Amino acid sequence: MGKTAEDIIGPDGLSDETVIAAVYVSVLGAAKAGAWRDRLERAGCNDLAGVATGSSTDEIVDTAFDGGAQPITELRLASGKPGLWSEISPQDATDRQALITRHFGRALYLRSRLVAAQNHGCWPDLQDVLPCSAADWLLTAREGDILAAGGNWPASGRVTDSWISERLALDATALPQWRDLFSPTVLRPALALLRQDDGSLLMCQSLGGRAGLSGYCSTFIDSDQGNEVTGGSAALPPAHTGDPTTPAFLIERLQTAWSDPAACRVARRFGFEQDEMSLLRGLLTGDGWVELRLGTGGQRGPELAVLGRMVVKTCAPSCPEMLRFLAYLMKQTVRDTEIATGADLPLQHKLDLPSGLRSRYLCFGAEQGRPVIFVHGIFDGVAGVQRLQHRLRARGLRLFAPLRFGYGASDRLPREADPIDLFVTQLEALMDAEGLDAPILLGHRSGCLFAAVAARRLRDRLGGVICVGATLPLSGVGHAAALRGHQRAMALSAVHASAVLPLVVRSWSRSVRQKGPQVLVSRQIARDSADRRLLADPALSAVLNQSHAMMMQQGRGGYETDLRLAVRARDMRYSANSAPTIYLHGGEDKVTPPDKLQAAIGSGANLQVRVSKRAGTMLLYSQPELVFAAIDDLRQGRT
């Protein structure tokens, strides 16, 4: 397997996949960026250099607007094809900068075509700067008359009118500067930024008082290096014109966020210095009104030289494009960090089954990417994949985590229903609802039982199955000997005293609250296992605690059902009619030793058992790179 962008920049940086996807979203908006990616996949364009620079994609763009093609704005997003953003792995910073530059150019070209198709043809020279997304934006004349609008902002009136100022959520303290911005007697700034109470940022860029943007660029002088940096759009003071309908300002609302861990990732990716990050933080999160001016008499604000260096490092075509790109990337990285550290969870999406039952599922990783479906086990829930949020996005993976009935906000399992049959139905409903094409099924611990059954029943719809740390049925005292504490008591109760199982599960739940969430996994780890070092990670405790609280929303019904299922005798042999399957197992797994697993599942042409001698029961936590390698192998047919 070749190097990935993540391998080159390290697990704490931002991969090319992450950065390039952010380029397209910041320029086109999330929906259109996804539609463009989907159109490329459908056309079979897998060469990144051709996507970024070649004219072969022009035909694809053209078909988005002809009478016989479905408009790109209405394309149904798919998540099931190989990633297109990062097929090339640049070996040095120069290659990486060239790659990002090409994608910025392609994204801006696409935006100009989309803007032209949205009936803004009366300003053809503004097609390179006008937004095409569903975000809030206004195009105004020099005295504030609204010429065009997007999102939920008003399409007519004057931006200095009180009712429009209220719609734009302007604070009373900012109104004087806001009115001055549109005063005919005031020298306007090249760029004005206003931090709003809801955390968003109002960005107002001057369009030079004219629609002709050819040759209209911002020139930043790096006083330290003596280098001149030129970028596009919106940086010169407005030219005086008597035409009141001439576009003069583009006003946008940017969503922003900030955290030190996320800022470190962004700084590491682009090589930002301390003064550059301080300026970025001030622009994105500072209070009040900020104006950037080119100055007069050769005098320029010191922040312009800093911004000029940042424009070069990000490969953005202009300062406004860079700020929009970094605002999006920072907000996304902050959110990913919150998820990965257990500070927050993604939203639970609703999924209705034909039977009338309702279940929930969560989504991790990239918003558009190659689909993986996670099948959770009994004790640690989704914690194992939640902490991989950054790595999932870095590899362009979209991971769906359905909550089986009895867990989370999914309905309770009906008394007479078979949990495995119901899960297969739930899985089919998820693939239908999301339009997933050949997703990889990723089972963990006891979830591998459900994944193995789905591999047989849904083999034609799956791209393959990975079973990580699979467990075998616990049929007696001998099989449960490797478990300790409440987990052993629950297993023995399920085998020999099913009536008291609810009491034991209740006692276990109380123990988790008293002793901490580490007991969710520590009871399966051998005392001398290297996996025990993971238990000292406070971030793991936070993720385990959050996952456990979510999984217990319906009480203990899901746990009791799965425990009874775990002790039921079942034929685990791999079927030749199953989807290609890879078992990943720890050589130190005392609960299910590798030799017993191999004996239980047998062999097959499309079956592999990969054993890591250094791992135990927590292979998903300690060596996730093995999981990613297995996903890549299944995608490429290497089983």
Give the chain's domains with CATH numbers. 10-39+92-115+124-209+244-341 (no CATH), 349-636 (3.40.50.1820)
Instruction: Decide which of 117 and 282 is more confident.
Output: 282
CA triplet 466, 468, 474: central angle to 5 degrees? 120
At residue 327, the pLDDT reads: 97
> How do residues 204-218 score in pLDDT, each as one tens digit?
998 863 333 233 334
Are 345 and 362 in contact, with CB atoms under 8 Å apart? yes
Indicate the range of 106-110, 140-144, 518-522 predicted with least confidence. Answer: 518-522
Predicted confidence (pLDDT) at residue 286 exceeds the cutoff of 90: no
- Over range 122-129, report the average pLDDT: 78
Mean pLDDT computed over every residue of the chain = 80
Reply yes or no on whether the pLDDT at 75 is more than 50: no
Q: 411-425, 523-537, 590-604 — which is least confidently predicted?
A: 523-537
User: What is the C-alpha separation between 404 and 381, in angstroms, rounded?
Assistant: 10
Among 169-173, 358-362, 385-389, whose mean pLDDT is lowest? 169-173
CA 302 to chain centroid: 35
For the record, the structure tokens of 52 come out as 């970024």
Instruction: Please say if the pLDDT value at position 3 is more than 60.
Output: no
pLDDT band per the 50, 70, 90 thresholds, residue 310: very high
Contacts with 297 (C-beta within 8 Å, 6 or more apart), sequence order: none
Higher pLDDT, 416 or 468: 468
625, two tokens: 């790179």
Q: SS3 sequence, 468-506?
A: ECCCCCCCCCCCCCCCCHHHHHHHHHHHHCHHHHHHHHH
**What's the pLDDT at 474?**
72
CA–CA dist 261, 52 (Å, integer): 31
pLDDT of res. 82:
34
pLDDT at 639 > cutoff 70: no
pLDDT at 477 > cutoff 50: no
Residue 172 has what DSSP assignment?
A: G
Instruction: Specify the range with the lowest mean pLDDT, choosing from 31-35, 99-103, 261-265, 524-528.
Output: 524-528
DSSP 635: H
- Is the Cβ–Cβ distance between 285 and 256 less than 8 Å? yes
Residue 585's pLDDT is: 96
**Residue 224 near residue 217, CB atoms below 8 Å:** no
Give the mean pLDDT of 323-352.
Answer: 95
Weakest mean pLDDT among 179-188, 209-218, 460-469: 209-218
Predicted TM-score (pTM) of this structure: 0.83
Q: How confident is the model at residue 443 (pLDDT cuts 50, 70, 90)?
A: very high
Using pLDDT thresholds of 50, 70 and 90, give the confidence band for residue 73: very low
Per DSSP bridges, beta strands 247-255 and 440-444 are unpaired
What pLDDT sits at residue 118?
75
pLDDT-derived band at 247, boundaries 50, 70, 90:
confident
Compare 11 and 515 and report the one with higher pLDDT: 515
The more confident residue out of 494 and 302 is 302
pLDDT(221) > 50: no
Per-residue pLDDT, averaged over 573-585, amounts to: 95
Q: Which residue has the higher pLDDT, 604 or 570?
A: 604
Please report, rounded to a whole number, the percentage of residues in the chain having pLDDT higher than 70.
75
Confidence check: pLDDT of 88 > 70: no
Q: What is the mean pLDDT of residues 270-293?
A: 90
What DSSP character marks residue 74? G
* Residue position matching structure tokens 């693939």: 431
Pick from 117-131, 190-204, 619-633: least confident:
117-131
Q: Which pLDDT belongs to residue 61?
A: 47
pLDDT on residue 84: 37
**Strand ranges (E), 93-145:** 137-141
pLDDT of residue 171: 84
Q: Which H or E element spans position 310?
A: helix 302-314
Helix (H, G, I), strand (E, B) or coil at 193: strand
Q: Mean pLDDT check: name the lowest of 46-50, 494-498, 539-543.
A: 46-50
- Please state the rounded mean pLDDT for residues 393-416: 93
Of 180-194, 389-403, 520-534, the range with the highest mean pLDDT is: 389-403
Band of residue 227 on the pLDDT scale cut at 50, 70, 90? very low
| Closest listed residue to residue 81, CA positions, set 306, 486, 366 | 366
Strand partners of residue 220: 229
Q: Residues 635, 82: contact at Cβ < 8 Å?
A: yes
Could you tell me the CA-to-CA distances from 359 to 349, 415, 551 in Å, in that order?
Answer: 8, 16, 12
* Whether the predicted pLDDT of 292 surpasses 90: no
The pLDDT assigned to 490 comes to: 67
pLDDT of 252: 95
Tell me the mean pLDDT in the region 250-256: 94
Check residue 306 and give its pLDDT.
Answer: 92
* Closest of 5, 191, 170 to residue 85, by C-alpha: 5
Residue 363 half-sphere exposure toward CB, CA atoms < 13 A:
16
| Average pLDDT rounded to a whole number, residues 271-288 | 92
Q: Does the pLDDT of residue 228 top 50, yes or no?
A: no
- Coil vs helix vs strand at 378: coil
Q: What is the CA radius of gyration of the chain?
A: 28
Q: Is the pLDDT of residue 5 over 60?
A: no
pLDDT > 50? residue 571? yes
Output the six-digit token pair for 272: 């930002």
Reply yes or no on whether the pLDDT at 520 is more than 90. Answer: no
State the pLDDT at residue 294: 64
Per-residue pLDDT at 209:
39
Share of the chain above pLDDT 90, in %: 47
Overall average pLDDT of the 331-338 stretch:
96
Residue 229, classed as helix, strand or coil, is strand
Question: Which of 80-94, 297-311, 453-467, 536-550 is the least confident region?
Answer: 80-94
pLDDT mean over 389-396:
94
Q: What is the pLDDT of residue 580?
A: 97
**In this predicted structure, what is the pLDDT of residue 41?**
61
Cα–Cα–Cα angle for 500, 503, 505, rounded to 5 degrees: 110
What pLDDT does 366 receive? 93
Is pLDDT larger for residue 66 or for residue 380?
A: 380
What is the reported pLDDT for 1?
40
